[in-house]
Amino acid sequence: MSLVNITNVQIPNNPALFNTEFQFEITFECLAPLKEDLEFKVIYVGSAESEEYDQELDSIMVGPVPLGMNRFMLTTPAPNSDKIPTDDTIGVTVVLLTCSYMGREFVRVGYYVNNDYIDEELRENPPPQVDFSKLYRNILVEKPRVTRFLIEWDKPLEIEMPPENQIDVDDDIIDLDEEIEEEEEEDDGNDSMVEEE
């Protein structure tokens, strides 16, 4: 069973210009006392061809974490456009929000991001060099991809559970509270954001 569940993520400044900072308002529930802090990261995928172009936009430690519901705003810089291959600048990519405990990642929320010009003329006749002052990003917040990892919460890092204990699911974490209430009534345990015991 997971001791921490992300229950909601809001992205208030979306859509936005490409060079605008990212903002994630994260709500999570802590079900048991934690000895260590949680680490949240935001990673921008610069190219689907290679992880070499991934950029860690920010990493913060959150703690001590009280029991119950918690909420905070995570603000990160925009990705460095110089580190993104030109052919991958415009189009669809991914931004990842991850959370780890004692060095172990236990949840990853991925969002598709569409980068394009709003101006129709620029879309039809893009300039030879990308004009980042007019390029917008739109995060597809309605369809996050959620991946959970089973970890041993109270064991030293060297006793990591094997990689086959990964659970990969698709779910929408917005309005999750309603889904949790329905799950409790139906007792079917199908909500991908709530760990099964």
pLDDT tens-place string over residues 82-117: 999 988 999 999 999 999 999 999 999 999 999 999
Range 65-89 average pLDDT: 95
Contacts with 151 (C-beta within 8 Å, 6 or more apart), sequence order = 101, 104, 105, 106, 160, 161
pLDDT at 193: 40
Q: Is the previous residue joined to 144 through a cis bond, with omega within 30 degrees of 0?
A: no
Contacts with 188 (C-beta within 8 Å, 6 or more apart), sequence order = none
Instruction: Specify the pTM.
Output: 0.77
CATH architecture of the domain formed by 4-186: Sandwich (2.60)
